[in-house]
Amino acid sequence: MAEFTMELNDEQKEVQDWVHGFAAQVIRPAAAEWDEREETPWPVIQEAAKVGIYSLDFYAQQYFDPTGLGLPMAMEELFWGDAGIALSIVGTGLAAVGVLANGTEEQIGTWIPQMYGDASDVKVAAFCSSEPDAGSDVASMRTRAVYDGAKDEWVLNGTKTWATNGGIANVHVVVAVVDPELGSKGHASFIVPPGTPGLSQGQKFKKHGIRASHTAEVVLDDVRIPGSCLLGGKDRLDERLARARERAKGGERLKNAAMATFEASRPAVGAMAVGTARAAYEVALDYAKTREQFGRPIIDNQGVAFQLADMRTRIDAARLLVWRASWMAANGRPFTSAEGSMSKLFASEAAKQVTAQAVQILGGNGFTREYPVERMHRDAAIYTIFEGTSEIQRLVIARTLSGMPIR
Q: Which residues are catalytic?
A: 387
CB 230 within 8 A of CB 193: no
CB atoms within 10 A of CB 264: 14
Cα–Cα distance for residue pair 93/60, rounded to 1 Å: 9
CA distance 349 to 361: 19
Q: Which helix (H) or strand (E) holds 66?
A: none
- Within the chain, what is the greatest distance between any pair of CA atoms? 82
Rounded to whole angstroms, how far apart are CA atoms 113 and 116? Answer: 6
* Dist. CA 34–CA 23, nearest whole Å: 14
| C-alpha–C-alpha distance, residues 28 and 314, integer Å | 23
The per-residue b/e assignment along 294-333, b for 16 or more CB within 10 angstroms, e otherwise, is eeeebbeeeebeebbeebbebbeebbebbbbbbbbbbeee
Question: How far apart are the C-alpha atoms of 234 and 217, rounded to whole Å?
Answer: 27
Contact indicator for 35, 375 with CB cutoff of 8 Å: yes
Q: Report how far residue 133's alpha carbon sits from residue 158's, in angstroms, rounded to the nearest whole number.
A: 11
Q: Are 259 and 269 in contact (CB under 8 A)?
A: no
Supply the DSSP symbol for 169. -
List all residues 6 or more positions away from 293 whose beta carbon is below 8 Å from its beta carbon.
none
β-partners of residue 118 are: 121
Distances (CA, A) of 382 to 35, 172, 348: 15, 23, 8
What's the CA gap between 70 and 78, in Å, rounded? 12
